[in-house]
Amino acid sequence: MSFLELNTNALQHNISYFKKKLLPETKLLAVVKAFAYGHDAIVLSKILEKNKIDYLAVAYTEEGVILRENGIKTPILVLHAQAQNYNLLISHNLEPNIYSHANLEEFKRILLKKNLKTYPIHLKFNTGLNRLGFSIGECDSIIEDLQKNNTIKIQSIFSHLAASEDLEEIAFTEDQIRKFELVRKKFSDTFQHSIDFHLSNTSGIINFPEAHYNMVRLGIGMYGFGNCPEETSNLRPVASLKTVISQIHEIDTGESVGYNRGYIAEKKTRTATLPIGHADGISRTLGNGIGFVSINSKLCPIIGNVCMDMIMVDISDVSCKEKDEVIIFDNQETVNKLAKISNTISYEILTGISARIPRKII
């Protein structure tokens, strides 16, 4: 059986590491979207709640609903709340990111219909990522609108840094910070109640302490990956992907392995079949000698094409037997190497792990 091992001590270590970079009063929002970056949003959110994390964030309403249905009570920001889900969102006490006037008007209409007052919302401003958000020039019209409305309470105002990990783009990031500061000042000068302002993601926390404001968003760093090898070395990987050997074959010279005869043996070869494939998150780009696994501390290349549910590896130089453990990855270096040879990033390797892979807590 294949499984994803989740190390809760590593999670707590990573949270503590980043908290030490913050002022004691700075709030921490933990991003658990996309199944907690492919880990397990329910399990990890329960641990985060016990650690008294101030906020959780998900991408879509349905992700927040699942957390609520599993007993999570921590405030949850829905980063890409969509109007068709506002009723569902409200019924589960989730908090929307409002990023356009159309969204704002629709949300106010629903609140008015439900006779709800001071419902917490989060306003997103576009400072350069050009993905979601109000423009800086819309501040005054939003302020005027919300001053006349008691159905809504501004819980937070935020934006997203586009290149905070890239030290060649410091000028661009500093311009984003400058724009966000203009927004912060306008709203702080107008509204008397406390508003959370957050701009920094993991790389922002590391590289731009002046942009921590009174809340930061911790995503990939929480799972063990920094924005450079030095920072990553201070963190611990939360996830390890493991499987077992299902069957061993002796392949004669000239015989083939897998679909489309993707591998032809040039010599007598010993192969192992593993119960994990592209439906589980093993990219097809890793087939035909590109990717590898580790068996008894030795690297074994993936041979032939990656199948939907299985891969085959060359174990000619490894002493092993059926049911022996196989490690796909158990450290950041391996994840980053798999990402590099797949022409992608660590995020995709982690989030691509299928939900059908059981999660095992250690």
Active site residues: 33, 259
Q: CA-to-CA distance for 238 and 163, rounded, in angstroms?
A: 25
Helices (H) and strands (E) in the chain, counts: 12, 19
User: Cβ(355)–Cβ(300) under 8 Å?
Assistant: no
Q: From residue 263, how far is each of 259, 273, 304, 318 by CA, in Å? A: 9, 14, 4, 19
* Residue 153, token pair as written in the block: 């309470």
Q: CA-to-CA distance for 262 and 8, rounded, in angstroms?
A: 40
Q: CA-to-CA distance for 44 and 239, rounded, in angstroms?
A: 11
What string of DSSP letters covers 69-135? Answer: HTT--S-EEETT--GGGHHHHHHTT-EEEE-SHHHHHHHHHHHHHHT--SEEEEEEB-SSS-SS-B-
| DSSP code of residue 305 | P
Helix (H) or strand (E) holding 46: helix 41-50
Q: CA-to-CA distance for 60 and 65, rounded, in angstroms?
A: 9
Alpha-carbon radius of gyration of the chain: 24
